[in-house]
A and B are shown apart, each in its own frame.
Chain A
Amino acid sequence: MKGALSSSGVGLGLGGLLGALALLYPALLLLAPLGLRFGLPFFLGLVLVLLRGLLFPVPEPPYGLRVEGTLAVREGFTRWEGHRLRVKHFPPLEDGVYHLRGYLAPPEPRRNPGGFDERAWLLAQGVKGVFHVEQARRLSALPNPRTPFRARLAEGLSSPAKEVLEGLVLGDKRGLEDAYLLFQKAGLAHLLAVSGLHVGFLVGAILLLPLGRWRYLLALALLPLYLFLAGPSPSLVRASLMAGLSLLGLFLGLGAAGVVQALGLALFLQLLLRPEAILGLGLQLSYLAVLGLALVLPALRLPPGLKGYLLGGLAASLAVQAFLAPLLLHRFHLLPLLSPLANLLAAPVVALLVPLGFLKLLLGGALAWAVEPLARGLLFLAGVASQGPLLRLGEISPQGFALYYLGLLPPLLALHHLLPWRKALLLASLPALVGLATGLPKPVDLWLLDVGQGDALLARMGGAEVLVDGGRPEQGEKVVRALRALGVEALEVLVATHPDADHFGGLLRVVEEVPVGLALLSPAFPQDHPLVQALRAKGVPTLRPGAGTALRVGKGRIQVLWPSHLSGDDNQDGLALLLDLGRAKALLLADLPAEVEETLAPGPVEILKVSHHGARTGTSEALLAQARPRIALIGVGKNPFGHPHPEVLERLQAHGVKVYRTDRMGAVRVDLGYAW
């Protein structure tokens, strides 16, 4: 391991990595002295990648400019005056030449915890602009040279088998949809991103041919073909670079390159090509996985024969899991615990399917009889393994990542006999203890999530979580993902303030996915309401409280202030809640009108969830004078009603209330510290 670490490839790779990261976070340059032990290659890598990023940055298109012209759209992207742009249109535009009219905008940053970060995703691909298309006229089709290959791949296969094969051979998971979730929960999703595993099986199959030294050259020639067919995803580029280096070495009689060496060199080359690529999840996963394999496997002494093969497979899978665990949890919030086993079972099937699929790309229907049952088998395996236990965790802080990998270091050194095991475990236990300790203080805060036009508010009350409303039905997935990202595994209390779709809609999905302790519903919900039925199906105890009900939740209290009587109007019968979070009180007003506000008498509060998305029917002068909030939260999106109304904003301003609205700011967090 010492020898491998001092090699030039590793130095170049690490230098390039620091350079790429420093382009995003310049403060990281302070870490540069750590690279001293890698000598010249490290600093060469650092300087070259830094220069590449500083001298040739991704150009920024003129945002706000109206654009009209004839453009070729390929896989959702187009090229305009030297800028690569993402094309946004509903429904998505198929490949082709179009006459397009629209405007240029910057990509959206993340708007919710656990939400999609379009900006980072596009930047990793060297794209800084989005073309919002308002009018598109299709002029002609765009010939795709990959189409005949794809058609041959699909020939003679049933639809599910075809989709599995497209994912497995070409890394195209668009057709899979629900089945992809199964693969994810089984820990087999990595099979559907073309990477070293696939290149390995393909190259391995070719190396079995009795061609002497020339088989290396044949394999080498296949790599660009594979890149062309499957598209240059970061993991495939990485694998092709590494395999290419090794095959070239073998053909020239120099021997295969060391894996760590080749990995470092490939990373350097890929970052030199585009430093922003480091933001891509595919690249991160791909390099970490191979690093895990390269650092763990050579240190093991495995018995010969089948037993050794099985143990090796298990160890490989565990090594990859150990290196990827925090990243997978951070991004997907779940880690399949049976994944090593599932991978061991899937390996032989994939080893056959990848070379067969590749042959099928060239030959067409002739191989369907062999591919169909194998693909079905893999799908079946994913279905069974997806039922296994999952580890769930929210997003992980940068310190958390650093602690995890610090904890991984001593056992790794012990594996290579550089440290006695007892000392290693002692050292590794320290970061683990710190990690546990940082999890002890429970956050106390309010999150007003961005669910477009609608309300969804999560209150974390020191170890117990309360969700008040969930936006429209199609926003449910967003709310669930936010809960997962914030590490909310179960809701103590779920509140549906009134039966309007922009308040209860998303809760249907939440009830399905997240365990709930108690549901508080407005008395306006009828017995046969879908939400009531969903709660009943899950066996959640339900309460329809009126004014005067109070609950103790976590370190705080929930008080119900309204309704005191029923009027028959949905908005007027909504629940008004007063949350006491210890350090501050929050008044949540659902869609209540001013007449109700005036009767509430909540006393002074710090935080006000403004009634009815800022409609002029609420947030009366009387309420503001009584409650004297300092912070106003408005859950609002693009809407035809003119919410929030200028009069409401003026009233709030006149009272010196600071307004936070989700349409301008994305999700808003009111941080009230931590509770033990």
Chain B
Amino acid sequence: MVLGYLLAVALLALLSLWPKLAPRPLPVRVEALAEASFTPPAPEPVSLNGASLEELEALPGIGPTLARRIVEGRPYGTVEDLLKVKGIGPRTLERIRPYVRP
């Protein structure tokens, strides 16, 4: 029993000291804590013709005023039709394009 105890201690000593003493061929080793394996799904495009005011306001660069103008400018055949809304230029359009559909 004592022998088994001594063996266990020796084994643990080897396990914990060896990685610190072993000669290493590679000077530098890199480890990462958490490898990303999941990317959140793209947000669902908001319908320009059906969305509520709230949903439109959640879009980047769209405030209450623009949201109201978008609703007033309905219906839209394509996303590009947004350009006819006063206050939405090509830059804003490009920003919100991934998040909207007609």
Q: Is the CB of B17 within 8 A of A437?
A: yes
Cα–Cα, bound, A187→B9 (Å): 31
Q: Which residues of B contact A234 (CB under 8 A)?
A: none
Cα–Cα, bound, A668→B36 (Å): 13
Given contacts A103-B41, A111-B34, contact A631 B28 (CB under 8 A): yes
0/1 per residue, B82-100, Cβ < 8 Å to A?
A: 0000000000000000000
Q: Is the CB of A134 within 8 A of B28?
A: no
Q: Does A397 contact B (CB under 8 A)?
A: yes
Q: Is the CB of B17 within 8 A of A606?
A: no
Which A residues, 20 to 38, have Cβ-Cβ distances below 8 Å to chain B?
Answer: none
Cα–Cα, bound, A66→B8 (Å): 51
Q: Which residues of B contact A400 (CB under 8 A)?
A: 16
A165: min CB distance to chain B, Å: 39
Q: Which residues of B contact A438 (CB under 8 A)?
A: 13, 16-17, 20
Instruction: Select one of A103, A110, A434, A450 contacting B12, CB under 8 A.
Output: A434
Instruction: Select one of A110, A397, A671 contacting B31, CB under 8 A.
Output: A671
Interface of B is mostly: mixed
Q: Is the CB of B40 within 8 A of A103?
A: yes
0/1 per residue, B5-16, Cβ < 8 Å to A?
A: 110110011011
Q: Is the CB of A399 within 8 A of B15?
A: yes
Q: How many residues of A contact B (CB 8 A)?
A: 52
Q: Is the CB of B12 within 8 A of A671?
A: no
Which B residues, 26 to 84, have Cβ-Cβ distances below 8 Å to chain A?
Answer: 27-38, 40-41, 43-44
Given contacts A399-B16, A665-B33, contact A409 B9 (CB under 8 A): no
Instruction: Select one of A105, A112, A427 contacting B38, CB under 8 A.
Output: A105
Q: Does A325 contact B (CB under 8 A)?
A: no
Q: Which residues of B contact A671 (CB under 8 A)?
A: 28-31
Shortest Cβ distance from A108 into B: residue: B34
Q: Which residues of B contact A399 (CB under 8 A)?
A: 12, 15-16
Which A residues, 103 to 133, have Cβ-Cβ distances below 8 Å to chain B?
Answer: 103, 105-106, 108-113, 115, 132
Cα–Cα, bound, A71→B27 (Å): 54
Q: Does A218 contact B (CB under 8 A)?
A: no
Q: Which residues of A contact B36 (CB under 8 A)?
A: 663-665
Q: Is the CB of B28 within 8 A of A672?
A: yes
Given contacts A583-B28, A667-B33, A671-B31, contact A406 B16 (CB under 8 A): no
Cα–Cα, bound, A337→B54 (Å): 56
Instruction: Select one of A105, A106, A434, A450 contacting B33, CB under 8 A.
Output: A450
Q: Is the CB of A402 within 8 A of B31?
A: no
Shortest Cβ distance from A668 into B: residue: B32
Q: Which residues of A contact B5 (CB under 8 A)?
A: 406, 409-410, 427
Q: Which residues of A contact B38 (CB under 8 A)?
A: 63-64, 105-106
Most buried by B among A110, A112, A402: A402
Shortest Cβ distance from A438 into B: residue: B16
Q: Which residues of A contact B15 (CB under 8 A)?
A: 399
Which A residues, 644 to 676, have Cβ-Cβ distances below 8 Å to chain B?
Answer: 658, 660, 663-674
Cα–Cα, bound, A671→B32 (Å): 11
Q: Is the CB of A670 within 8 A of B33?
A: no
Which A residues, 157 to 193, have Cβ-Cβ distances below 8 Å to chain B?
Answer: none
Given contacts A63-B38, A438-B16, contact A584 B9 (CB under 8 A): no
Instruction: Select one of A63, A115, A434, A670 contacting B9, CB under 8 A.
Output: A434
Most buried by A among B13, B24, B34, B44: B34
Cα–Cα, bound, A567→B28 (Å): 36
Q: Is the CB of B43 within 8 A of A134?
A: yes
Q: Is the CB of A430 within 8 A of B9?
A: yes
Q: Does A607 contact B (CB under 8 A)?
A: yes
Q: Which residues of B contact A110 (CB under 8 A)?
A: 33-34
Cα–Cα, bound, A306→B21 (Å): 54
B14: min CB distance to chain A, Å: 9
Given contacts A113-B33, A434-B16, contact A583 B27 (CB under 8 A): yes
Cα–Cα, bound, A306→B81 (Å): 88
Besides the known contacts A403-B9, A630-B28, 4 further A-B residue pairs in the complex with CB atoms under 8 A apart: A109-B33, A402-B12, A584-B28, A671-B31
A-B CB contact pairs (8 Å), 23 listed: A64-B38, A64-B40, A64-B41, A115-B33, A132-B40, A399-B15, A400-B16, A438-B13, A438-B17, A441-B20, A583-B27, A583-B28, A606-B27, A631-B30, A658-B30, A664-B35, A664-B36, A665-B33, A668-B30, A668-B32, A669-B31, A671-B29, A672-B27
3 closest Cβ pairs, A-B complex: A666-B34, A665-B32, A666-B33
